[in-house]
Amino acid sequence: MKFTLKTATSHFFLTRFSLLRTPTVTTLPLPLPLLNYPLPTRTTTITTTTTISTPSFPIYSACAPMSIATQHILQVRDKIELSDIERRIFDRLLATLRHFNLQTQLRVAGGWVRDKLLGKDCYDIDIALDNMMGTEFVDKVREYLLSIGEDAQGVCVIESNPDQSKHLETARMHLFDMWIDFVNLRSEEYTENSRIPSKQSFGTPEEDAYRRDLTINSLFYNINTGSVEDFTKRGISDLKSGRIVTPLPPKATFLDDPLRVLRAIRFGARFEFTLDEDLKVAAACGDVKDALAAKISRERIGTEVDLMISGNQPVKAMTHICDLTLFWTVFSLPPEFEPTISDGCERLCIAYLDTAWNLVHLLKESTFTDEERRLSLFAALFLPLKNTTYQVKKAKVVPVVNYIIRDSLKRKSKDAEMVLDLHRASQKFLSLIPCLASNEGLQSDDVGWMRRLIDDVSVASRVRVLTGFLLRELKDLWRVALLVSILLHPIDINNIEDESLQLHKRRDLFNTVESAIIKLGLNKVWEVKPLISGKDVMNVLQLKGGGPLVKEWLEKSMAWQLANPSGTSEECIDWLREANSKRVKLE
């Protein structure tokens, strides 16, 4: 059975994805765009006033007028400006060298250097030492600080742990409210079937720079000389031109550590840099995909994906993963599932993600917390898979989304549960949206869930009752579920390919339904306490113990309470007696 999509909504999402990205590697069998737009260029400006034009594939944003070309202005500083705290930290470290007459060169490595050159704040300082272990140097720093009457706080050692991708012992200490990590420069050799180095030794700065994942992450800031060091001789130029390149040939770099493929994608998306063509070819080759699946723990893959989804360009990151044919390597599926997933399903996943991302930004900034935004994007990404299931022990059938989140990405069980809850709730919201948007009554035949609770409720109150139950189930996540349901809701417009109009109509529908729910007085309805308890039900029904019947009447009592928001507990008990009396007579 094929997973087919024939609705107008699906056509919109498939068309929408075709605008996101064209195939990036000629060896990848990706379909041509449905709409043919000329390839735009990105103009990158740097402080030296050099102007470079590089290919760019825009993620069309509904937050601003759409255009085929977008400009990305990137400024790279000529030197690093230290903050007061950074200057004080480095002064203490240099004073330690002088105090013990050490010849050690202190270099800040990696991301801190990159971010400082881009004018961004960074609070992750990793210091590489050329001739001693981090623990040895930290002991010297602590001894020096004590000699001048200062306290060395939070000194600790993080042991090497290959299973967690921590191959070197790291010494850590707290200086001026910042954590500083100390490691030695190193060179590494890997075995064929593992990303755990088989051999490690003290390395030169050049060896350390070339063993890093990307040229933009291979830069050092030499604390002793106050200068930036570019041992690959292209880290600064790649930073200025906005390019993601590996220091060594990309295939060898990725086979040494396949996680670097996802890091390259993440940094490319984060900074809106262009992935090097050779890098893309290497990332998409079978050997690298096999190595990524075999050598890297699913937890590490999940962490990278989480950073992408929580970052500033999640759609661009997922589009790279799709274009490089890595989607099903990253989001691996169980051995057996049904129905069969059709070719191109991954593109529909990203199209839903893209629309959700744009809707989040079209709505008020305060609508979602960071965690709610993260969950909404995961829910949108996996929306086309919500009806695909696999069988677990005891013949239990569950959605494959559960497998992807728990097993493929090794995220928390709570994440999987919440995404599945959002998918289920979005279907319930879909049946309520027409009434909430039009203020019309709801017939019991219009819903397939909790119908037994609304047969005795007036037509005018049914929407409030069902929406109240749904919000009591979702609690603070109800707006996220509403967002997901809006993605599924068909939008009636003449030109289905008018992306901006589609997005704005979905935004307007979200706002209309949200306002209707608030007008019904249902915001925070999950905090409303039931008017009667199980004990009250047992007394009225003259039962000696609890059970399914008590649960059923408690649900019916809550339905009465939602239909009569100003009702009292006495009135609810009177209703319960009357309703039970009718039930007894019918029996």
pLDDT digits 0-9 by tens, 75-126: 899 899 999 999 999 999 999 999 999 999 999 998 999 999 999 989 899 9
Instruction: At 178, give phi and psi (nearest 5°).
Output: -130, 140
**In residues, how long is the chain?**
587
Which of 46-55, 204-213, 279-288, 295-304 is predicted least confidently?
46-55
Cβ-contact 532, 555 below 8 angstroms: no
**DSSP designation for 404:** I
pLDDT at residue number 187: 63
The encoded tokens of residue 412 equal 């928390």
- 587: confidence class by pLDDT, cuts 50, 70, 90: low
Minimum mean pLDDT range among 62-71, 156-165, 408-417, 486-495: 62-71
Q: Which residue has the higher pLDDT, 30 or 277?
A: 277
Phi–psi pair at 297, nearest 5 degrees: -65, 145
Cα(583)–Cα(436) distance, rounded to whole angstroms?
A: 32
**Token output for 265:** 């994608």
Residue 167, pLDDT > 70, answer no
Indicate whether 394 pLDDT > 90: no
Contacts of 82 (CB under 8 A, 6+ apart): 90
Helix (H, G, I), strand (E, B) or coil at 45: strand
Closest CA to 246 of 218, 274, 270: 218
Residue 472 has pLDDT above 80, yes or no: yes
pTM comes to: 0.83
Percent of the chain with pLDDT over 90: 64
Half-sphere exposure for 286 (CA within 13 Å, toward CB): 0
Residue 379 has pLDDT above 90, yes or no: yes
Q: Which range scores top for mean pLDDT: 172-181, 192-201, 215-224, 450-459? A: 215-224
Check: CB of residue 436 under 8 Å from CB of residue 460.
Answer: no
Q: What is the pLDDT of residue 368?
A: 95
pLDDT at 164 over 50: no
| 3-class DSSP assignment, residue 391 | strand
- Taking only the tens place, the pLDDT of each residue in 15-60 is 555 545 433 332 333 332 222 323 333 333 333 322 322 323 333 3
The larger pLDDT score, comparing residue 340 to residue 67, is at 340
CATH of 242-330, one of 3.30.70.3340, 3.40.50.300, 3.10.180.10, 1.10.110.30: 1.10.110.30
Q: Which residue bears the tokens 């494959």?
A: 400
Q: What is the pLDDT of residues 491-536, one digit of tens each?
A: 876 666 678 888 999 999 999 999 999 999 999 999 999 999 999 9
The pLDDT value given to residue 482 = 97
Q: For residue 188, what is the enclosing H or E element?
A: strand 186-190
CATH superfamily of 74-241: Beta Polymerase, domain 2 (3.30.460.10)
The model's confidence at residue 10, banded by pLDDT at 50, 70 and 90, is: low
523 closest CA partner among 568, 571, 470, 484: 470
pLDDT given at position 445: 59
What average pLDDT score do residues 177-183 get?
91
pLDDT in tens, 331-367: 999 999 999 998 899 999 999 999 999 999 999 888 8
Q: Which of 374-378, 431-435, 442-446 has maximum average pLDDT? A: 374-378
User: Mind giving me the DSSP string for 153-177?
Assistant: EEEEEE--BGGGTB-S-EEEEEETT
Long-range contacts of 506-509 (CB under 8 A, 24+ apart): 506/355, 506/359, 507/62, 507/359, 507/362, 507/363, 509/433, 509/437
pLDDT of residue 22: 39
In the chain, list all ranges with CATH 1.10.110.30: 242-330
Using CA atoms, how far residue 186 sits from 211, 217, 496, in Å, is: 9, 15, 56
Least confident window among 155-164, 172-181, 197-206: 155-164
Buried/exposed 368-394: b ≥16 CB within 10 Å, e otherwise: beeebbbbbbbbbbbbbbbebbbeeee
**Strand segments (E) across 20-164:** 41-45, 51-55, 106-109, 125-129, 153-158
> Averaged over 154-173, what is the pLDDT?
62
- Residue 543: predicted pLDDT: 84
According to the model, what pLDDT value does residue 506 have? Answer: 95
pLDDT in tens, 230-263: 999 999 999 999 999 999 999 999 998 999 999 9
- How far is the C-alpha of 331 from the C-alpha of 407, rounded, in Å? 9
Phi, psi angle pair for 154, to nearest 5°: 60, 30
In angstroms, rounded to a whole number, what is the distance separating the alpha carbons of residues 353 and 17? Answer: 10
Residue-averaged pLDDT of the chain: 83
Q: Three-class SS of residue 338? A: strand
Condensed to tens digits (0 to 9), the pLDDT of residues 120-144 reads 989 899 999 999 988 999 999 999 9
DSSP track, 389-455 = EEE-GGG-EEEHHHHIIIIIS---HHHHHHHHHHHHHHHHHHHHHHHHHHT----GGG-SSSGGGTT
CB-count exposure of residue 430 (10 Å: 0-12, 13-18, 19+): middle
For the residues 376-393, what does the mean pLDDT come to?
95
At 478, list the tokens.
Answer: 């109800």
Predicted confidence (pLDDT) per residue in 500-510, tens digit: 888 999 999 99
What pLDDT does 292 receive?
A: 96
Residue with token string 């925070």? 524
Mean pLDDT value of segment 358-387: 95
Please state the φ and ψ torsions of residue 368, each to the nearest 5 degrees.
-125, 140
Look at residue 541 in the predicted model and tell me its pLDDT. 86
Place of tokens 């903050």: 83
Cα end-to-end span (Å), the chain? 46
Question: What is the helix (H) or strand (E) element at residue 465, kind and residue range?
Answer: helix 459-474
Whether pLDDT at 198 is above 60? no
Spatial contact of 281 and 27, defined as CB atoms under 8 Å apart? yes
Is 553 in contact with 576 (CB distance < 8 Å)?
A: yes
Measured CA to CA in angstroms, residue 376 lies from 128, 266, 359, 534 at distances of 39, 19, 11, 36
Question: Residue 196 — pLDDT band, cuts 50, 70, 90?
Answer: low
pLDDT level of residue 285 (50, 70, 90 thresholds): very high
Mean pLDDT of 159-187: 73
pLDDT for the residue 153: 77
Question: What is the pLDDT at residue 492?
Answer: 77
